[in-house]
Amino acid sequence: MAYWFLRGLGHGIVTTRYPKAIDVWTQTLPTPPAFHSDRLTLALADRLVAVCPSRALAREADELVVDLGACTACGRCIDEGRGAVEASGVFELASTSRERLVKRVRIGGGAG
């Protein structure tokens, strides 16, 4: 931290380039959930919605709506998911389009 502060003083406001390679330690970071559509039921989807503290999940009819822009990767839905939910392993989610962060998962399988 002190290095970056002193560097900023010496060179003015600076930012660094995005890294070309992803560090190995980042594999331990919590990541947003991925859902197995065919393992989801309406009851399970409702439980997932209920445990999500950031309201990143909602059910609309037979779809689970996942707002990755609101997800904090807390893991509660993964714990509750009973094999239907797992960590995606993906943390590079930046997008210039808010809509691209909202995913729809068909409950019970099938195209969504």
Kindly tell me which of 74 and 101 has the beta carbon lying closer to ligand SF4.
74
Say whether 57 sits in a helix, a strand or coil: strand
Please report how close the Cβ of residue 73 comes to ligand SF4 at its closest, in angstroms. Answer: 5
Q: Are 35 and 80 in contact (CB under 8 A)?
A: no
Kindly tell me which of 26 and 54 has the beta carbon lying closer to ligand SF4.
54
Say whether 101 sits in a helix, a strand or coil: helix
Kindly tell me which of 51 and 101 has the beta carbon lying closer to ligand SF4.
51
Helix or strand (DSSP H, E) at 87: strand 85-87
**Cα–Cα distance, 70 to 88 (Å, whole number):** 15
Determine phi and psi for 86, rounding to 5 degrees.
-145, 165
Kindly tell me which of 74 and 93 has the beta carbon lying closer to ligand SF4.
74
Binding-site ranges for ligand SF4 (CB under 6 A): 32-33, 51-52, 54, 56-57, 71-77
Beta bridge partners of 34: 86
Which amino acid, residue 25?
Answer: W
